[in-house]
Structure 1
Amino acid sequence: MQRPEAWPRPHPGEGAAAAQAGGPTPPARTKEPVGPRLQEPSLYTVKAVFILDSDGSRLLAKYYDDTFPSTKEQMVFEKNVFNKTSRTDSEIAFLGGMTIVYKSSIDLFLYVVGTSYENELMLMAVLTCLFESLNHMFRKNVEKRWLLDNMDGAFLVLDEIVDGGVILESDPQQVIQKVNFRADDSGLTEQSVAQVLQSAKDQIKWSILK
């Protein structure tokens, strides 16, 4: 008979069988995680928002963390996203551990990016709010020419929806009201006479177009 020291150690999970056979029960072992740990819920839902033209060139972009720290890395990512999404009818894509929701409008592509574990519905709410807010501000379809002519307003809209990756607002009407309030407030306190005159001309222009 073999000495007890030479007996093979029981395979993990055989403690119950060893106990029934009268042998010593091995101490319980803490189960260690095999894969990556689940991410804790976070308010920082959005990693990036960008708008590209029909050629995949950047028109507007904001990144909210250091996943892509340089402009070069950002634009490579945007090009890869464009190549993956520009010829599909889907609204959701997955690329490089990112969840991407997107929408096309005439000659524009609008994208909202989150991590792989983010709720697509939350990201889609941001995308819908951005599109409808821009549509309301331009008073017609969202297209490249209008976006380039109103880039400052587009950034104001985006800032009202997302701040530092945190979703602030998903109601387009609320966004437009806040943008108008900020514009009116800056006009009263900071604009020069020339800027006020230009603002008045713009208002006349919008009333004619409307």
Structure 2
Amino acid sequence: MDSSSLEASLYTVKAVFILDNDGNRLLSKYYDPEFYPSMKDQRNFEKNIFNKTHKADTLDEIAFLEGMTIIYKSSIDLFIYVVGSAQENELMLMSVLNCLFDSLSHILRKNVERRSLLDNMEGAFLVVDEIIDGGVILESDPQQVIQKVNYRVDDNSLSEQSVAQHITDKLALTSVVLQSAKEQIKWSILK
């Protein structure tokens, strides 16, 4: 096996997607340009994963398919998937999945199902963007995600100020992640 593929990386998540109970895509984000680069490849991958996972008896599950580690959860008529490489730590991927599910549960008023998700898609995309940026896990605490998204459950809308704050917070967080990466590289060189 190539030793470069086993090196530590901040790029943990390859993809996140949510499918309905028929396997249709509702939300998806792919972070690795080499990982299913075309829309057709992505949809085939999602369909294959759905066909192998939708009959599971448990709510949370781990699968190893097509050389990927796939963590997924079902809720009413949704299937939420987080995909990482075969060498990725399942607990890290599970923390992303749990954070995503709990954050969505909050903004959807504990009604994590297809219709509610479609009605609140902008909030769902903001939640995903607060948890993962370019494949790097930024946050795993749902309370922090909800606070950063500043989603107003009472009026079910995002203000211009919350979107501007979201962009500002992402820039600040990117700076922190880059500093952390520099430290990690420094320590790996010093070993």
TM range (shorter): 0.7 to 0.9
Tell me the equivalent position of 1:54: 21
Distance in 2 (CA, whole Å) between partners of 1:94 and 1:171 is: 26
With over 3 angstroms needed to count, the CA separation of the structure-2 counterparts of 1:50 and 1:181, relative to structure 1, is: closer
Per-residue CA distance 1:57-86 (angstroms, 9 max, x = gap): 000000001211000000000000001111
Q: Any unmatched runs of 5+ in structure 2?
A: 153-157, 165-191
Shift of 1:88: 1.6
Q: Which of residues 121, 128, 132 in structure 2 aligns to 1:158?
A: 128
Which of 75, 80, 102 does residue 132 from structure 1 map onto? 102
Alignment of 1:74-153 (within 5 A): 74-89=42-57, 91-153=61-123
TM-score (norm 2): 0.77
Change (3 A) 1:36 1:136: same
The aligned residue for residue 36 of structure 1 is 2
2:161 and 2:38 map into 1 onto residues whose CA distance is 32
After TM superposition, what 4+ stretches of structure 1 lie above 3 angstroms from structure 2? 181-185
Call closer, same or farther: CA 1:159–1:119 in 2, change over 3 Å.
same
Matched residue pairs, number? 155
| Secondary structure in structure 2 of the residue aligned to 1:146 | helix
Deviations along 1:111-156, whole A, 9 cap, x unmatched? 0000000000000000000000000011122000000000011000
Does 2:140 align with 1:173? Answer: no
The counterpart of 2:39, out of the listed 71, 92, 101, is 71
Q: Which of 137, 161, 181 pairs up with 1:186?
A: 161
Structure 1 CA distance for aligned equivalents of residues 123 and 53 of structure 2: 26
> Partners in 2 of 1:130 and 1:62 — Cα distance?
13
Distance 1:117 1:187 in 2: 37
The CA deviation at 1:96 is 1.0
Offset of 1:39 from its aligned partner? 1.4
Q: What one-letter code is carried by the residue in structure 2 that aligns with 1:108?
A: L
Structure 1 contact 51–58 (Cα < 8 Å) conserved: yes
Helix, strand or coil for the counterpart of 1:44? coil
Unmatched segments (≥5 aa) in structure 1: 1-34, 190-210
Secondary structure of the residue aligned to 2:79 is strand
RMSD, aligned CA: 1.9
Whichever residue aligns with residue 83 of structure 1, its letter is N
Aligned-partner Cα distance in 2 for 1:63–1:184: 27
Structure 2 CA distance for aligned equivalents of residues 184 and 137 of structure 1: 14
Query: Which residue matches 2:173?
Result: none
CA contact (8 A) 1:49 1:113 kept: yes
Would you say the 8 A contact 1:105–1:141 is kept in 2?
A: no
Q: Would the alpha carbon gap of residues 78 and 181 (structure 1) be closer, same or farther in structure 2, given more than 3 Å must change?
A: closer
Contact 1:46–1:165 at 8 Å: present in 2 too? yes
